[in-house]
């Protein structure tokens, strides 16, 4: 029986229920409901306040007032600034999420170091590492001279006092899960604590005009641990990703009130921290040698930049009753669709074959324009004919088996030309853009061309 006024918060999704139960009704997680102990409500808080503003009621405003927007804070780490939408917005809060060990602390230490060297007043507050540890790492990365103000602290009260004593431009809190308020009974890392700490820091950011970056660890199911609530409180959510075994790290915006969410920032983790990768195409292409059968270079667009990336397919007889479909870096549903179209419209059978599809370099592509590249890689693997070394591929495939034009075809071809590619297998609409294009109107045309190795100029 629920006690009067007691509330139970799911530690996984943050949903609040008035009764305890073994399973959260919202996210269906088990044993995650915990009674939330909140401080006593100030008397009269539920009745309308008697302030002058409250007596005046709701005040409406017009749209046509020019509010000066303060300039963005450019940190100097271009890949980070671009994902933020062209620098960090003052008086905003950003959540940077990622797996433990992916490099969040390294990235943000480099960001504050660069920003402080550009004259911004920056603080880095760590709840995870000692000051000596952070200092040693910064020195090893050659950032020992950056005028960053460092602190190791987990107590929210001490942190807020410290932050209010100075006039910071940019503050990093690493990580939000380690911060806790002594005014709450809930343990550190609980939803209640994380929400309270994030709430206080976001309010501080808005009130004092400071840009605050909260670091958050991600759980194995890909959610920012515990508090999805934090995602709703901040202005931007960035995720820092990397495939195991690859040095590449990709920063993506999952939400951004001040910019596009399709920009990516590319970094390479090395001996001395993260290196910005200004031309990612070179990374995602297999260097040197003949291109093997089953590989196609996709001319993609990530945010504002064209990126060339190799798509690899392997089609092999299945040893088991149920053939395997394994996809890395692309959408499994999209693969199923392309396979169905290849079967229905081109007569290629995959029923008894295992299929592996991999996007090189650990990149994850989401554009429908990759359809034709995936199909070309699959066809090439099945017929055992390699695509020409200097050929890029792009185009969307419809269920009817048509190859449809995609956005920014000229930009894709320009990037291909820049990197030494000399031809493209692409929608017919891409012909006439000043680049040798083998236009295909239907997927069956692409199959025929790859099978016959028909890529002679003219």
Locate 12 and state its tokens. 């996984």
11, 32, 92, 105: which one binds ligand TYD (CB under 6 A)? 105
Binding span for Mg ion by CB under 5 A among 17-25, 83-91, 100-108, 444-452? 100-108
Locate 439 and state its tokens. 């236009």
Query: What is d(CA 369, CA 371) in angstroms, rounded to the nearest whole number?
Result: 5
Interaction between residue 312 and ligand TYD (CB under 6 A): no
CB 237 within 8 A of CB 93: no
Interaction between residue 126 and Mg ion (CB under 5 A): no
Interaction between residue 104 and ligand TYD (CB under 6 A): yes
Query: What is d(CA 239, CA 80) in angstroms, rounded to the nearest whole number?
Result: 11
- Give the total of residues touching ligand TYD (CB under 6 A): 14
Q: Would you give the binding string for Mg ion spanning residues 340-379, x where CB under 5 A is met?
A: ----------------------------------------
Going by the DSSP 8-state scheme, the letter that residue 158 receives in this structure is H
97, 103, 216, 265: which one binds ligand TYD (CB under 6 A)? 103
CB 458 within 8 A of CB 357: no
Give min distance, CB of 108 to Mg ion, in A: 8
**Measured from the CB atom, is 102 or 447 closer to ligand TYD?**
102
Number of residues that make up the chain: 458
Locate 183 and state its tokens. 């005014």
Interaction between residue 111 and ligand TYD (CB under 6 A): no
CA distances from 338 to 223, 318, 324, 398, 444 (A): 29, 19, 16, 9, 12
Interaction between residue 105 and Mg ion (CB under 5 A): yes
Interaction between residue 172 and ligand TYD (CB under 6 A): no
Binding span for Mg ion by CB under 5 A among 97-105, 233-241, 378-386, 407-415? 97-105
**Measured from the CB atom, is 137 or 451 closer to ligand TYD?**
137
CB 158 within 8 A of CB 123: no
Query: What is d(CA 190, CA 102) in angstroms, rounded to the nearest whole number?
Result: 23
CB 32 within 8 A of CB 38: no
Q: Which does 98 bind (CB under 5 to 8 A by kind): Mg ion, ligand TYD, none?
A: ligand TYD
273, 306, 361, 362: which one binds ligand TYD (CB under 6 A)? 273
Query: What is d(CA 210, CA 90) in angstroms, rounded to the nearest whole number?
Result: 5
Interaction between residue 98 and ligand TYD (CB under 6 A): yes
Give min distance, CB of 106 to ligand TYD, in A: 3
CB 303 within 8 A of CB 363: no
Q: Cα 327 from chain centroid? A: 19
**Measured from the CB atom, is 100 or 384 closer to ligand TYD?**
100
Interaction between residue 381 and Mg ion (CB under 5 A): no
Interaction between residue 269 and ligand TYD (CB under 6 A): yes
Q: Cα 271 from chain centroid? A: 24
Q: Which does 146 bind (CB under 5 to 8 A by kind): ligand TYD, Mg ion, none?
A: none
Going by the DSSP 8-state scheme, the letter that residue 86 receives in this structure is S
Interaction between residue 127 and ligand TYD (CB under 6 A): no
Query: What is d(CA 117, CA 240) in angstroms, rounded to the nearest whole number?
Result: 24
Find, among 314, 273, 275, 308, the residue nearest to 292 by Cα: 314
Interaction between residue 142 and ligand TYD (CB under 6 A): no
The DSSP H or E segment spanning 306 is strand 305-317
Interaction between residue 137 and ligand TYD (CB under 6 A): yes
Give the binding site for ligand TYD (CB under 6 A): 98, 100-106, 137, 141, 269, 271-273
By CB under 5 A, name the binding residues for Mg ion. 105
């Amino acid at each position: 029986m629920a006690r009067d006024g007691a509330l139970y918060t799911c530690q996984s999704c943050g949903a609040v229920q008035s009764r305890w139960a073994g399973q959260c009704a919202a996210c269906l997680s088990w044993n995650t409901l915990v009674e939330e102990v909140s401080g006593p409500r100030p008397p009269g808080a539920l009745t309308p306040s008697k302030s002058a503003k409250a007596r005046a009621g709701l005040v409406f405003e017009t749209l046509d007032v020019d509010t000066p927007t303060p300039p963005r804070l450019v940190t100097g780490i271009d890949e980070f600034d671009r994902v933020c939408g062209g620098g960090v917005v003052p008086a905003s809060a950003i959540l940077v999420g990622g797996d433990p060990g992916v490099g969040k602390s390294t990235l943000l230490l480099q960001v504050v170091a660069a920003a402080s060297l550009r004259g911004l007043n920056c603080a880095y507050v760590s709840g995870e590492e000692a000051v000596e540890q952070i200092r040693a790492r910064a020195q090893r990365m050659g950032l020992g001279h950056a005028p960053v103000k460092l602190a190791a602290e987990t107590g929210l009260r001490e942190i807020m006092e410290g932050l209010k004593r100075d006039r910071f431009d940019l503050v990093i809190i690493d990580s939000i899960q380690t911060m806790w308020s002594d005014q709450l009974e809930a343990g550190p890392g609980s939803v209640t604590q994380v929400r309270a700490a994030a709430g206080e820091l976001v309010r501080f950011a808005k009130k004092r005009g400071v840009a605050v970056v909260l670091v958050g660890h991600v759980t194995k199911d890909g959610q920012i641990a515990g508090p999805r609530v934090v995602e709703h409180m901040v202005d931007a959510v960035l995720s820092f990703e990397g495939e195991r075994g690859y040095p590449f790290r990709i920063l993506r915006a999952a939400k951004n009130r001040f910019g596009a969410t399709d920009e990516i920032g590319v970094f390479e983790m090395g001996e001395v921290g993260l290196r910005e990768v200004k031309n990612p195409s070179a990374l995602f292409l297999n260097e040197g040698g003949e291109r093997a059968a089953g590989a196609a270079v996709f001319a993609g667009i990530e945010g504002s930049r064209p990126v060339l990336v190799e798509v690899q397919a392997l089609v092999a007889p299945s040893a088991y009753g149920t053939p395997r479909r394994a996809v890395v870096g692309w959408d499994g549903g999209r693969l199923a669709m392309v396979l169905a179209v290849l079967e229905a419209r081109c007569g290629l059978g995959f029923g008894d074959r295992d299929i592996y599809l991999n996007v090189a370099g650990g990149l994850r592509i989401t554009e429908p324009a990759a359809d034709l590249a995936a199909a070309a890689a699959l066809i090439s693997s099945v017929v055992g004919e390699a695509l020409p070394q200097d050929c890029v591929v792009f185009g969307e495939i419809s269920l009817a088996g048509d190859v449809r034009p995609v956005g920014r075809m000229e930009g894709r071809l320009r990037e291909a030309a820049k990197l030494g590619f000399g031809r493209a297998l692409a929608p017919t609409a891409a012909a006439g853009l000043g680049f040798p294009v083998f236009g295909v109107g239907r997927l069956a045309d692409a199959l025929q061309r790859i099978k016959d190795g028909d890529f002679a100029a003219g």
